Amino acid sequence: MAIDSRPLAGAGRVEDTINLLGHAARSIVRVVSKITERPPEEIGRKAGIPLLLAPSIKAGLDLDWSDPKQKAAAIQILERQVSSLQQWVDRHLDDVVEQPLRTYLDAITQVRDQDLETAEDGTVRIRQGVAPDRRVSIEDAEMRHGRKSRSKRFDGYKEHIARDLDLPIIVACAVTPANRPEEEGAAPIAEDIQRQRLRLVELHIDRAYVNSPVVDDVIRAGGQVFSKPWGQRARSPDLFSKRDFKIDLRAKTITCPAGQVEVFEPGDTVEFDPEECGACPLRAKCTQAA
Binding residues for ligand SF4, rule: CB under 6 A, are 256-258, 260, 272, 276-277, 280, 282-283, 286
Q: Nearest distance from residue 289's CB to ligand SF4, in Å? A: 10
CB nearer to ligand SF4: give 163 or 283.
283
CB nearer to ligand SF4: give 34 or 246.
246
CB 21 within 8 A of CB 108: yes
CB nearer to ligand SF4: give 224 or 241.
241
Q: Nearest distance from residue 243's CB to ligand SF4, in Å? A: 14
State how far the alpha carbon of 245 is from the alpha carbons of 63, 77, 85, 257, in Å: 64, 64, 66, 6
- State how far the Cα of 155 lies from the Cα of 223, in Å rounded to an integer: 36
CB nearer to ligand SF4: give 264 or 272.
272
Q: Nearest distance from residue 268's CB to ligand SF4, in Å? A: 16
Q: Nearest distance from residue 250's CB to ligand SF4, in Å? A: 21
* Sign of the alpha-carbon dihedral angle for 194, 204, 211, 134: negative
- State how far the Cα of 109 lies from the Cα of 117, in Å rounded to an integer: 12
CB nearer to ligand SF4: give 179 or 272.
272
Q: Nearest distance from residue 253's CB to ligand SF4, in Å? A: 13
Q: Give SS3 for 210.
A: coil
**Bridge-based pairing state of the strands 224-227 and 202-205:** parallel
Nearest by Cα to 200 from 186, 221, 172:
221
State how far the alpha carbon of 16 is from the alpha carbons of 41, 82, 120, 161, in Å: 24, 16, 24, 32
Q: Nearest distance from residue 229's CB to ligand SF4, in Å? A: 20
CB nearer to ligand SF4: give 2 or 277.
277
- State how far the Cα of 136 lies from the Cα of 14, in Å rounded to an integer: 5
